[in-house]
Chain A
Amino acid sequence: MSPSPCLVVKNLTTRFGSDRAGATVVDGVSFDLTPGRTMALVGESGSGKSATALSLMRLIEAPGRIIAGKILLDGRDLLSLSEREMEDVRGGQIGMVFQDPLTSLNPALTIGRQIAETILAHNNISYAEAEKQAIDLLLRVGVTDAVERVHDYPHHFSGGMRQRVLIASAISCAPAIIIADEPTTALDVTVQAKILRLLHDLQLEMHASMLLITHDLGVVAAMADTVMVMYAGQIVERADVDTIFHNPRHPYTKALLACVAGIEDDRSVPLEPITGTAPDLTDPPKGCRFGPRCPMVQDSCLRTDPKLRALSNDHAVACILVAEEKVDA
């Protein structure tokens, strides 16, 4: 049926601070990434999207640490690798594109040098050869005058062009997995459209798997094959893209979509904000974390911690009300 996954994440749990005082920002997250497919991870600020991405790359810095779980890449658990082995994985098998290309690029080095260094870190070739490859990569991501531009510094580039440079660097070792964390959030819509298309085309070409992290449901609808909705460190719903948008079951997913419909549609659709704010993770609410803001909340929601349960092969929801509904039906 479906091809075997290239990355399997099981019960990933990342916590900042101590056991007693602190916050579990990634709380028992499990998912698979499949070659050639895009998985979107969607949620609001502080929901744990970026912490999930950084955990996958083992880039969580103290006082944060991964306290449980497995990250299996081709059967190898990344959490058991040495730091040296992990360096080969980063930029090698997993390429990463961040939101802010200006801060991810070194302002004091030419962009040719920065891409070449990534290549040299993973290949035993000469600098001249690496620079030649950098030029080819820049051409591939649409930097047309790449032969001259390898000698330019990051500040010589526009925001969209910098993002292309970063993408060139991320794909330099033909990674099996691309993690793109809000890759177009800082860009204008016309530039965003081009960068999204570029990522999509490169992914198809390389048959890579992409984990796309975004808060923008429009970007999700355009790019994703599968979607995970994250709230307060937990995955609350996971399904194929059509199901998420047309048959969402978790009250948070529904509320999020209603917000977007209220904002994006014309004035006939009422604005329906979700009341309240996301919980403080140092002191999360008992039971369901969305409970205090949920329009459907029942007493039992505040007592039971809902687990992500499969409704069908490709649809899972963490809501006790949905589970009950299914038993009735």
Chain B
Amino acid sequence: MPEIVMQVSGLTKSFAARGSRSGSIKAVSEVGFSLGRGETLGLVGESGCGKSTLSRLMLALLDADAGVVEIGGVDFTHAPAQHKRNLRRRIQIVFQDALSSLNPRRTVGVNITEPMRLQGIGTAVQRRIEARRLLELVGLRAEDEDRYPHEFSGGQCQRIAIARALVLKPEIIVFDEAVSALDVSIRAQVLKLILDLQQQLGLSYIFISHDLGVVKRICDRIAVMYLGRIVEIGPASVVCSAPVHPYTQALLRAIPIADPRRMRIENLGLIEGDVVGVPTENACAFAPRCPMRFDRCLQSRPELASAFAGQQVACFLLNSDT
């Protein structure tokens, strides 16, 4: 078992519901997992499942209502401001829209080393040297430091954003839909870079995506989220080849495979209904859409429980058919 670099437990966050005085929506509920050194954990789920809220909680960009994020055994969530600032060097994030995450009025070099300046690290000269080194590390040219973000393509901007995420020498990088907006050929280039950097630098990754295909390709473990909760988590190969939760199964069946001999429109899996509203506390959130639901699913909520081969699943079927 590798060393744990991040431990998340009981993480919960609610937002006040618009147009209602009393109500609130739980965006993330009691989420817990660990991340090992050098490991990549994928977080998948559809729009509104709480993936992005979870990423902001991990980085302490949002305050959690409950729960703890520990980085290297230190409580990040409740750390005092100055300490939090230091801990922030250890976890960085890359967003989906790289161009809008870069400052258009600053050169690429200044953008990349902005975190160093904010943290009071190095002199201006040292920061320039670092910017040039990082640009080459992510496959761009050192001379690009003097150009502006708009002069670069989407894939190149994502490389710049990755360089900036690396500048504080973090142990953990969170990729929030970091390759989703890229064309396939560019996506493959950026994924290759992400994997190469992990090898070289021994980084641990949280890889958030709605695209199970990509997640399967680069992750060691996968956590599937539905309406704020993890419903299944386990080794990537097992979750994708032998999913236990009906939602994971439905998600996998809905992905079109790039092979007309294996998949035509008639075989594409359809799930009943849409993701709706606020889940009730005492029922399975997926029950209204689940093809396998039975009475118990509507009366109480299943907790994550160990299944096979390191998988954990929140579903009553797990106990009923063994």
A residues at B contact (CB < 8 Å): 44-45, 158-161, 188-194, 196-197, 200, 215-224, 241-242, 245-246, 255-257, 259-267, 271-275, 277
Contacts and interface: CB of A to CB of B under 8 A. Distances in A.
B191 to A, nearest CB: 6
Nearest to B210: A188
A221 B254 contact: no
Contacts, number: 133
A255 B254 contact: no
B265 A200 contact: yes
A263 B187 contact: yes
A265 B240 CA distance: 11
Nearest to A216: B256
Contacts of A242: 260-261
A282 to B, nearest CB: 15
B259 A158 contact: no
A265 B241 CA distance: 12
**9 cross-chain pairs, A with B, having the tightest CB-CB distances, nearest first:** A218-B256, A273-B188, A273-B189, A188-B46, A44-B183, A217-B258, A193-B254, A274-B185, A222-B256
Contact of B258 (A44, A160, A188, A220): A220
Please tell me the size bucket of the interface on B. 35 or more
Nearest to B255: A189
A275 B47 CA distance: 32
A197 B270 contact: yes
A272 B188 contact: yes
A255 B185 contact: yes
A274 B188 contact: yes
Contact of A259 (B46, B184, B259, B264): B184
Interface of B: 46-47, 153-155, 183-189, 191-192, 195, 210-214, 216-218, 237, 250-251, 254-265, 268-271, 274-275
Contacts of B261: 242, 245-246
A197 B267 CA distance: 10
Given A190-B250, A242-B261, A271-B217, 17 more contacts: A45-B154, A45-B183, A158-B274, A159-B47, A188-B46, A191-B46, A193-B271, A221-B256, A222-B263, A223-B265, A256-B184, A259-B188, A263-B191, A263-B214, A264-B214, A265-B217, A272-B188
Given A160-B274, A193-B269, A221-B263, A271 B257 contact: no
Most-contacted residue by chain B among A221, A245, A261 (CB, 10 A):
A221
